[in-house]
Structure 1
Amino acid sequence: MLVRELMTADVETVQESEDVSTVLQKLAERHFTGFPVVDDDGRLVGVVTQRDMVELFQPEHRTVWIPIGLPPFLESLEYGFELSWDDLEASLDLASSAGKPVKRIMTEDVLTVEPDDSVDDILEILAHDDRDVNRVPVVEDGDLVGIVTRQDVLRALHAERSGE
């Protein structure tokens, strides 16, 4: 089976210059977990996902480790205190990040396939533990021509195995 048999050709994308707030709204409205990001010429330049948004609006390190020693201070113990991220901090961070172009937070190193690649090429990408990819853009001569999701592959494999 070839990629072109599975791909969705009508791909919803976002422009690299769109504001983070606009892309966040599109994610919510369409119930997608991510979008391919294209430049003004329609060429794939990245992917933006819900995970990118979470990382933007949530600090990575919220735990402070404080060494506390007991007399005679020969040994110290480290206690971790999770800092609260109050509403004011969250609102300020959201306001400062909302106007950024999505280009600043997107993943640029995108794994792609071509229309004449096999389903095995997509499976190799989807099964890669380190990347946790849910969608694979399909490109031809650098242009985005389709997309294949994890669900597309699962449906195709199920149909093939059940004889549908």
Structure 2
Amino acid sequence: MPLTARDLMETDVETVAPDDEVSEVLGRLARADFNGFPVVESETSETPREDGEAVDGGRVVGIVTQHDLVHLFQTEDRVLWLPIGLPPFTETLTYAIDVSWDDLDLGIDLAKHAGRPIREVMTADVVTVTPDTDLDTILDLLADDERDINRLPVVENGELVGIVARQDVLRTIRDQRRESKR
């Protein structure tokens, strides 16, 4: 029987909400063993999983990754152009001075973006799969040259039920190969 997302997915999924602040999500991501969270608009009730435990119910509205958050703190053009030339000189020369002091920049960026809601920085065009999506389709999505997908939220009846990470797929393929060699 071919493998599906149901066979590969992790059902204990950590999520964030669209209104969670960037600083809070950064803190959670720093403590996590993975590089992104599905962004979920949660229902008030929890949806039971097959094993009897509960997973946060809700509709996937995006995904936020390390890349999305680090991008907020990358220095862009931080060059200060100073005109030099005082009267009586009629011509001025313009000099570029790099004012990007890394620690100061990071502090300024952190203060500027810390309170922003995740909905402003998340990827809204999130690729999802269903529990019945086959391994070949999952491999195609994870190996897509145009998108750098590392985690695929698994959605059933409009609700998040699990997640398949690239690492989960690689581990499963490795284990299958080992079994076939025995």
Equivalent residue for 2:41, pick from 19, 28, 39: 39
Aligned residue pair count? 148
Give the conservation status (yes or no) of the 8 Å contact 2:79–2:100. Answer: no
Secondary structure at the residue paired with 2:149? Answer: coil
Equivalent residue for 1:156, pick from 172, 175, 178: 172
Q: Please state how far the C-alpha of 1:130 moved relative to its aligned partner.
A: 1.7
Q: 1:6 — aligned with what?
A: 8
Larger radius of gyration: 2
Q: Please state how far the C-alpha of 1:129 moved relative to its aligned partner.
A: 1.6
Are 2:134 and 1:118 aligned? yes
Q: 1:50 — aligned with what?
A: 66
TM-score normalised by L of structure 1:
0.83
Q: 2:100 — aligned with what?
A: 85
Q: Please state how far the C-alpha of 1:121 moved relative to its aligned partner.
A: 1.1
Q: 1:72 — aligned with what?
A: none
Secondary structure at the residue paired with 1:39? Answer: strand
Give the conservation status (yes or no) of the 8 Å contact 2:9–2:164. Answer: yes
Q: Please state how far the C-alpha of 1:63 moved relative to its aligned partner.
A: 7.6
Equivalent residue for 1:106, pick from 122, 125, 137: 122
Separation in structure 2 between the aligned mates of residue 53 and residue 82 of structure 1, nearest angstrom: 27
Q: 1:129 — aligned with what?
A: 145
TM-score normalised by L of structure 2:
0.75
What percent identity do the matched residue pairs reach? 52
The Cα RMSD (Å) is 1.9
Alignment of 1:8-27 (within 5 A): 8-27=10-29
Secondary structure at the residue paired with 2:42? Answer: coil
